[in-house]
Structure 1
């Protein structure tokens, strides 16, 4: 199933969020304005705003209120990507030049900071202190995750628990917060809000593991950047952890670290990982998280949105791009 079909019911509300994103990124600085709008036009799955809307359906749904939750979460995600591209020295994302490539590192860092600030400004329309606390905690942990990723670069001997902690901070926590904040903003009961929160966490973990698998199994064109970019940037993901004792992988990591990996060797490296058991092992872990997410849905009251949550969770866990 195409993601557009899953989103169809929310199209008009997603349009509201898109317009609000553009407004939030408006700046008196032409450079900041151009860099920020460049990000919106680059698109994205808008998974975090959609989870806000989906989970709010279990309570009192009001898009004029919910947009002030969905927009900050998407802005935080966008800001983190801008900073991430500087850290990884990435020139392409989703098939388009990154902010750091189109402008420079300094502009990219200030653009990311500006977007973080706009996220806080947008959330100011929401009066519930707990929602502000959740977003603040998420932003702190997101930054911690990014710094830890820098510290772990090229550390081939790291264990799976370290990897799980890192992807929780980098990805799962923001999706968890999207579900939780959407539920809280709509007045969903605490019991159901916690089920939605845990659903978001498990889906987020599955989502990132699949992303890390696709970084090896998808093509450059599908990814909009070179396949194997995670490893090329020194980020050790689950498939590589499962191959950490393979001397061939060890050799490739050494070549990458010293800048000696050729294009032909990159292709050989991708073939090695794609044909290994590591992909199936990582997929099995993603599936376990997905099943935990589906179990949380089963604990929710009967509601048409339960099927929609299941459909999107399965799409995330089974996608091939």
Structure 2
């Protein structure tokens, strides 16, 4: 099943989520409204809302409740992106200027805080304590992951365990929660909730590893940023960590990785990583997570929503942008 077909089948429901997102970032403060809607208008895959909606199909599909959850989780994701761009000093995202680049660091931080607060207001309408407990614990973990990432910028002694824990907190948690909360709001049986949670987690781990591969192998046009941006910002991903351990040019790679890296040095470092087998190693790791993702999925009832989740899993594993 093609990704476009999956999104088209959910178009009317996703349109409601989109309208909800626009409503939630509305404010009488002109600059805050402009900055808040800036990233929203840049678009995105909206994979978190899609996960919420499809997870809801396994239970009682209450669209008003599900769109509320879907919008809230996308807002949390958006807020994290705005904050990330300040930390990373990023000028563009998805090929458009970041909030930081347009309005400065201070406005970007307040904008991220505002978007995050709007998400919490949306979810406050739910009386189920489990929803708030799960989300609160996950947000704490996500924040810890961001701090760990900052701590480990340019740290060439990182371990695989450190990397995997970081991407769990950075990406996999929110995708897992999207499936979990969608299922919980739809009153799915506990086993179904657990299986969807596992599907989202393993899909999220594969998603981030593929992202890290694409940062080194794609093109600036597809990425919306220069190739090797993570590396130049000191975010050492799985292929780079592999190369630091196994490349015959590991000593040179260590010398290249620094806060003063030039564009030419980034390009040289990327070549060393590619020649080391790090890309292939990361690809195999992503494949293993995808196998676990599909294993959890195939234990769910055989229905249209499961087929769509399978199609998204294949897109995650095969995407080039």
TM over 0.5: yes
Deviation at 1:267, TM superposition (A): 2.6
Take 1:17 and 1:160, find their aligned partners in 2: how far apart are those partners? 37
Take 1:254 and 1:130, find their aligned partners in 2: how far apart are those partners? 49
Deviation at 1:263, TM superposition (A): 2.8
Take 2:16 and 2:108, find their aligned partners in 1: how far apart are those partners? 26
Runs of 5+ consecutive residues of structure 2 not aligned to the other structure:
none
Q: After alignment, is 269-278 or 84-93 more displaced?
A: 269-278
The equivalent residue for 2:298 is 298
Deviation at 1:14, TM superposition (A): 0.5
Cα deviation 1:44-90 (Å, max 9, x = unaligned): 10000000001100001121111111011001100001111111111
Question: Which SS does the other structure have where 2:244 is aligned?
Answer: coil
> Is 1:218 matched with 2:218?
yes
Question: Which SS does the other structure have where 1:154 is aligned?
Answer: coil
Superposed counterparts of 1:305-316, under 5 Å: 305-316=305-316
Is the CA contact (8 Å cut-off) linking 1:149 and 1:235 kept in structure 2? Answer: yes
Deviation at 1:8, TM superposition (A): 1.2
Take 1:154 and 1:133, find their aligned partners in 2: how far apart are those partners? 34
Deviation at 1:287, TM superposition (A): 0.4
Take 2:24 and 2:249, find their aligned partners in 1: how far apart are those partners? 48
Take 1:29 and 1:297, find their aligned partners in 2: how far apart are those partners? 44
The equivalent residue for 1:106 is 106
Cα deviation 1:170-213 (Å, max 9, x = unaligned): 10000000000000000100111100001110000000000000
Take 2:209 and 2:301, find their aligned partners in 1: how far apart are those partners? 29
Deviation at 1:226, TM superposition (A): 1.0
Cα deviation 1:208-247 (Å, max 9, x = unaligned): 0000000000011110011111111111110011011347
Is the CA contact (8 Å cut-off) linking 1:75 and 1:118 kept in structure 2? Answer: yes
Take 2:274 and 2:116, find their aligned partners in 1: how far apart are those partners? 37
Superposed counterparts of 1:101-180, under 5 Å: 101-180=101-180
The equivalent residue for 1:257 is 258
Take 2:251 and 2:207, find their aligned partners in 1: how far apart are those partners? 27
Is the CA contact (8 Å cut-off) linking 1:249 and 1:269 kept in structure 2? Answer: no
Take 2:217 and 2:208, find their aligned partners in 1: how far apart are those partners? 14
Q: 1:138 to 1:186 in 2, by over 3 A?
A: same
Deviation at 1:131, TM superposition (A): 1.1
The equivalent residue for 1:227 is 227
Take 2:70 and 2:128, find their aligned partners in 1: how far apart are those partners? 15
Is the CA contact (8 Å cut-off) linking 1:68 and 1:125 kept in structure 2? Answer: no
Deviation at 1:124, TM superposition (A): 1.8
Q: After alignment, is 298-307 or 189-198 more displaced?
A: 298-307
Is the CA contact (8 Å cut-off) linking 2:99 and 2:108 kept in structure 1? Answer: yes
The equivalent residue for 2:20 is 20
Question: Which SS does the other structure have where 1:27 is aligned?
Answer: coil
TM-score by length of 2: 0.96
TM-score by length of 1: 0.96
Runs of 5+ consecutive residues of structure 1 not aligned to the other structure:
none
Take 1:59 and 1:74, find their aligned partners in 2: how far apart are those partners? 21
Is the CA contact (8 Å cut-off) linking 1:76 and 1:139 kept in structure 2? Answer: no
Cα deviation 1:8-35 (Å, max 9, x = unaligned): 1100110100010010001121111000
Is the CA contact (8 Å cut-off) linking 2:179 and 2:200 kept in structure 1? Answer: yes
> Is 1:238 matched with 2:264?
no
> Is 1:204 matched with 2:204?
yes
Take 1:64 and 1:239, find their aligned partners in 2: how far apart are those partners? 42
